């Protein structure tokens, strides 16, 4: 009888008898184990929901609350839109299934222990508007090999506080803009347990930036009806895409 019960219980689980119930406004696809979030996930909104494998946060969401996805150990991927400005404390703590995370340029703060214990992470991208990374944000993330860090060092507070973040031997490579390398090294060496390398390309100038600051030069390279903007010997179209 016990074996029969075990079999029936497993069968019920497999057809979704215990499917996750999303919060109001959010949707859950039990077949793909995908949660779509349409409003700000608050404190512990989906904490300990092992069944979640994929999270899509839609544009319009502005914050991810403290512990919103705490201990979602089955979570393998998350999409964060450019409307999000803050990631709360412990928001993804112990989400061990995550292998990479891309924090968009809209985010200005990453809370304390936000990715604490995410042992599956190997790659992290930190957008250029981040001004604050809380203590232990990447504590025990010992498999991260590469961090792509775009903020200006002068505007960034990074409170990792020691050797328990990233790889213990300091071999995690933190890629920064070449012109920011010395600033990162002087400000964060010994504080953040990474090796800084200045190999990110310099930011591409925007068309507006160039036209406003260099109208005379820009007007000299109007070719075939197309305005091309020159900076540092390179040409860009009005979208900021390098053409030569």
Residues 111 and 133 in one domain: yes
- The verdict on 105 and 197 lying in the same domain is yes
Asked whether residue 2 is assigned to any structural domain, the reply reads no
Q: Which pLDDT does position 213 carry in this prediction?
A: 42
Residue 94, token pair as written in the block = 């112990």
Task: Show Cβ contacts of residue 18 under 8 Å, excluding neighbours closer than 6 positions.
Answer: 12, 51
Q: Are residues 223 and 144 in the same domain?
A: no
Q: What is the pLDDT of residue 243?
A: 65
Note the pLDDT of residue 209: 43
Confidence (pLDDT) at 19: 75
Q: How many CB atoms lie within 10 A of CB 14?
A: 8
Q: Say if 17 falls within a structural domain.
A: no
Do 145 and 238 lie in a common domain? no
Taking phi over 0 as left and psi of -120 to 50 as alpha, with beta for the rest, 60 belongs to left
Tell me the residue range of the domain where 217 lies.
Answer: 204-244
What was the pLDDT predicted at 74? 96
Q: Work out how many domains the chain is built from and give that number.
A: 2
Flag whether 153 is in a domain. yes
The pTM assigned to this predicted structure is: 0.77
Residues 61, 136, single domain; the answer is: yes
> Which residue, among 228, 223, 196, has the nearest Cα to 210 in the 3D structure?
228
Locus of tokens 């150990």: 73
pLDDT in tens, the chain (244 residues): 443 333 333 333 333 445 799 999 999 999 999 999 999 999 999 999 999 999 999 999 999 999 999 999 999 999 999 999 999 999 999 999 999 999 999 999 999 999 999 999 999 999 999 999 999 999 999 999 999 999 999 999 998 765 678 988 889 999 999 999 999 999 998 889 999 999 998 765 544 444 344 443 443 345 555 556 666 666 666 556 666 6
């Amino acid at each position: 009888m016990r074996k029969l019960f075990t079999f029936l219980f497993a069968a019920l689980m497999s057809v979704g008898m215990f499917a996750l119930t999303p919060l109001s406004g959010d949707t859950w696809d039990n077949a793909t184990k995908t949660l779509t979030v349409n409003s700000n996930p608050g404190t512990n909104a989906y904490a300990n929901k092992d069944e979640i494998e994929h999270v899509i946060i839609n544009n319009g969401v502005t914050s991810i609350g403290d512990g919103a996805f705490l201990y979602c150990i089955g979570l393998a991927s998350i999409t964060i839109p450019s409307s999000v400005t803050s990631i709360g404390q412990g928001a993804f703590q112990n989400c061990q299934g995550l292998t990479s995370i891309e924090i968009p340029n809209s985010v200005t703060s990453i809370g304390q222990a936000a990715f604490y214990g995410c042992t599956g992470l190997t790659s992290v991208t930190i957008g250029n508007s981040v001004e604050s990374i809380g203590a232990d944000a990447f504590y025990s993330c010992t498999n991260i090999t590469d961090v792509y860090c775009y903020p200006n060092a002068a505007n960034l507070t990074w409170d990792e506080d020691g050797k328990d973040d990233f790889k213990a031997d300091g071999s995690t490579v933190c890629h920064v803009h070449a012109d920011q390398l010395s600033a990162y090294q002087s400000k964060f060496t010994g504080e953040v347990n990474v090796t800084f390398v200045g190999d990110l390309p310099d930011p591409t100038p925007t068309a507006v930036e160039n036209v406003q600051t260099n109208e005379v030069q820009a007007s000299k390279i109007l070719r075939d009806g197309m305005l091309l903007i020159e900076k540092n010997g390179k040409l860009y179209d009005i979208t900021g895409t390098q053409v030569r």
